[in-house]
């Protein structure tokens, strides 16, 4: 079985994770590496960011993974859970924070989301409101197997200026336990703390100039002596899966990647469109995203983040009695409004996120059911991802339409299902398989609303590979 790290290497010939391979494609100037070899006590020496050749391995006492590379998910979850700290603050990048937390919890890690602010609720960089599990001060005396810093601005500055977090992370590095950072955080947070010394590092392209030239590597993922760094929201899955492999072994990382639909066949297309119509407006498009307890947080946050980057007016509405919902992997999200209040407005597009329990709760909302029916009768756009195309199906909103959905529910759809593609558009209905494919789903919506150039611009900011035409 190939390790995740060897799969991500730009020099690899055959990929088990084609999506991850494409994410790592821009790393052609970076040396190849193996997390398996690192876990067994080997590391690479430093090279210039211009080097394209693997370097010689030297013995080192780096942080090691006691779990065998053949450990299964069930075996991993039967062991004492790995403790992970994910700090967040005002302006933290929500896709990065939520994907890291979601993926690590799926792998069986005990993840603590800690606020560096005086309060637990923070507003992330694109407006999503998240609630931390605890304050960073309560984590000071704990020992973590991993500390993972999301990026975002000014979130990375808020993390940098937190003395308690600096102390925790510095101790993590001193005691040779795993730590990592993504996006702006390597340059803005770890560099001033002196935690990048003699370690090859990558970060968001906008901050690469801040890194020491000799140690900076233009790769989507970089591992160096217990430090893992990555570039941005678009590389969050590869970053999180790399951390999973170091904590739990390559077989667990592979299983989680498959469950997230990261492990897709090479011939999976980005989208297929039928009965093409223009989605154009003479005003800023308004989009409704209803959420419930059990909604899949990766999908909610990714769609909201990307659409808001494209300057769409996004309203997140809770179908619960409270605006705060508990998502499927334990993330606490604060919606903008309750669904009853949100229903007073008209929306150009309504998108249903997935999550099995969340989809069931969305399906029970009479207000949402009425909104969807009105949306169809008025000829406006609607869509769903993951398990939620099942809601559209049950309400008769996929009749005569081609669609796709999460593999677990595709067989339950009686309309024509399109396989082998991430996103399906049929007129004014759009569906996706969910989870990792939602990035493409949201970018396709941006392209339909504003044109390909806008979608590509947003993708570049995410550090996400997107076609030029």
Question: What is the residue extent of each domain of the chain?
Answer: 83-260, 272-462
pLDDT in tens, 385-396: 999 999 999 999
The candidate with the shortest Cα–Cα distance to 162, out of 63, 92, 239, is: 92
Tens digit of each residue's pLDDT, the chain (469 residues) = 344 444 333 322 223 343 344 434 433 333 333 333 333 333 333 333 333 333 222 223 333 332 333 334 444 446 789 999 999 999 999 999 999 999 999 999 999 999 999 999 999 999 999 999 999 999 999 999 999 999 999 999 999 999 999 999 999 999 999 999 999 999 999 999 999 999 999 999 999 999 999 999 999 999 999 999 999 999 999 999 999 999 999 999 999 999 999 964 445 688 999 999 999 999 999 999 999 999 999 999 999 999 999 999 999 999 999 999 999 999 999 999 999 999 999 999 999 999 999 999 999 999 999 999 999 999 999 999 999 999 999 999 999 999 999 999 998 887 789 988 999 999 999 999 999 999 999 999 999 999 999 999 999 999 999 888 7
Topology given in CATH for the domain delimited by 272-462: Rossmann fold (3.40.50)
Distances from the Cα of 433 to the Cαs of 266, 282, 386, 404, 430, in angstroms?
Answer: 16, 30, 5, 6, 11
What is the DSSP annotation of 141-171? T---SEEEE---TTHHHHHHT-HHHHHHHHH
Scanning 41-190, the segments in alpha helix (DSSP H) are 73-78, 94-106, 155-160, 163-174, 185
Instruction: Give the span between the Cα atoms of 177 and 33, in whole angstroms.
Output: 19
Give dist(CA 149, CA 177) in Å, integer: 14
In this structure, CATH architecture of domain 83-260: 3-Layer(aba) Sandwich (3.40)
The whole-angstrom separation of Cα 458 and Cα 363 is 32
Residues annotated as catalytic are: 183
The pLDDT tens digits of the residues spanning 191-231 come to 999 999 999 999 999 999 999 999 999 999 999 999 999 99
The span from the CA of 73 to the CA of 182, in Å, is 25
């Amino acid at each position: 079985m190939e390790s995740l790290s060897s799969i991500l290497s730009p020099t690899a010939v055959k990929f088990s994770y084609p999506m991850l391979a494409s994410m790592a494609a821009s790393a052609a100037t970076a040396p190849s590496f193996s997390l398996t070899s690192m876990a067994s006590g080997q590391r690479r020496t430093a090279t210039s960011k211009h080097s394209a050749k693997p370097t010689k391995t030297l013995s080192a006492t780096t942080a090691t993974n006691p779990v065998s590379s053949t450990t299964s998910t069930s075996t991993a979850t039967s062991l004492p859970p790995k403790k992970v700290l994910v700090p967040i603050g005002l302006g933290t990048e929500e896709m990065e924070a939520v994907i890291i937390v979601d993926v690590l919890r799926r792998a069986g890690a005990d993840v603590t989301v800690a606020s560096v602010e005086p309060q637990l609720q923070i507003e992330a960089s694109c407006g999503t409101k998240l609630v931390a599990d605890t304050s960073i001060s309560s984590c000071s005396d704990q020992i973590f197997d991993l500390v993972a810093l999301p990026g975002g601005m000014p979130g990375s500055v808020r993390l940098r200026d937190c003395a308690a977090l600096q102390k925790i992370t510095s101790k993590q590095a001193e005691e040779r336990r795993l730590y990592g950072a993504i996006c702006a955080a390597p340059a803005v947070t770890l560099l001033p703390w002196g935690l990048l010394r003699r370690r090859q590092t990558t970060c968001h392209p906008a901050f690469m100039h801040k890194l020491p030239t000799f140690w900076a590597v233009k790769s989507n993922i970089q591992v160096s002596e217990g430090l893992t760094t990555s570039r941005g929201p678009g590389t969050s899955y590869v970053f999180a899966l790399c951390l999973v492999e170091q904590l739990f072994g390559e077989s667990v990382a592979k299983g989680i990647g498959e469950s997230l639909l990261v492990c897709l066949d090479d011939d999976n297309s980005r989208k297929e469109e039928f009965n093409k119509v223009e989605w154009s407006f003479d005003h800023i498009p308004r989009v409704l995203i209803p959420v419930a307890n059990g909604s899949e947080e990766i999908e909610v946050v990714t769609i909201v983040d990307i659409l808001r980057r494209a300057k769409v007016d996004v309203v997140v509405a809770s179908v619960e009695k409270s605006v705060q919902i508990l998502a499927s992997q334990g993330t606490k999200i604060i919606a903008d409004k309750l669904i009853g209040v949100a229903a007073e407005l008209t929306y150009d597009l309504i998108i249903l996120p997935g999550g099995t329990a969340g989809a069931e709760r969305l399906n029970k909302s009479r207000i949402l059911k009425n909104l969807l029916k009105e949306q169809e009768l008025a000829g406006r756009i609607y869509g769903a991802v993951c398990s939620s195309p099942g809601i559209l199906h049950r309400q008769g909103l996929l009749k005569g339409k081609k669609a796709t959905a999460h593999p677990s529910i595709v067989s339950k759809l009686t309309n024509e299902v399109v396989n082998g593609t991430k996103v399906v558009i049929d007129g004014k209905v759009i569906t996706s398989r969910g989870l990792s494919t939602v990035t493409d789903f949201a970018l396709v919506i941006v392209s339909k609303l504003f044109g390909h150039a806008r979608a590509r611009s947003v993708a570049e900011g995410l550090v996400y590979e997107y076609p030029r035409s």
